[in-house]
Amino acid sequence: MKILLAGASGMVGKNIVDLKPNNVSLFTPDLDELNLLSYSDTLDYIKKNKPDLIIHAAGIVGGIQANINYPVKFLRENVLLGHNLIWAAFESGVNCFLNLGSSCMYPKNAENPLQEDLILKGELEPTNEGYAIAKVFAQRFCEYINRENNAFLYKTIIPCNLYGKYDKFGSEWGHLIPAVISKIHNAKIQNQNIVEIWGDGEARREFMYTEDLADLIWTTIKQFEKLPDLLNVGLGYDFTINEYYQTISKVIGYTGSFKHDLSKPVGMKQKLVDTTKLKNFGWSPKYGLEEGIQKTYNYFLSNN
């Protein structure tokens, strides 16, 4: 089987590569080989290599501050990535396409846990609206292609928040857990007694170790026809931001205290995906929070 992995250099992509089965031929083009922002380049690459399935894990990603600072980039480039890959796949006759969405696609005031049919049922969270719109676009594009031609299996999985190996640590482009790992690690080695938390720390988030998502992706490819057209992927439970800080402090061995900056943005109060369909599909994650953070911290120590 020949598979094109778009976004192989990102955190999710690298974890997918790490778990590649031996009987799969995996194309992992870098930016020099394939410019996904160019439709003609994307179409030419797909027609030349003729993959049986495409995984769309490419994207411009970042934390709250990056999304606030660069909404044009997050909207425009992610829409282009989704459009070019999906349409080039369709025009090239690639029948199987796995699109990776994001839980930010769900309305900010939707009832938790977030069920798959809630997309476009309310206003999006403003802090990452551009990215969310781009992700909704790609999901609907896949859905419409399926609707018009049932020979095409263009499916979307919606992971909860992710963390793990190959993440971005300690910058505005980093997500919560890697940013906190970097912050608390630095506080420990610099003997800082206080670490700041944005907001009151009571917002709830669901974070899954990225290797679990990679495992799920390879599982779905083995039984792609059985995979629902739209599927949440997550733990099915969440923690407060304060609890993430506490767990990371425990793993790192930081014994200082925390203070809350109530002037900072915090995003949605809760973002927990409904995993009923995932359980019916027959898959569950392997890693708990403390084990996943320990593995992530070990990676951070060996690469910083």
Q: Judge contact between 101 and 157, C-beta under 8 A.
A: yes
State the CB neighbour count (10 A cutoff) for residue 123: 10
SS3 (DSSP) at 246: helix
Name the residues annotated as catalytic: 131
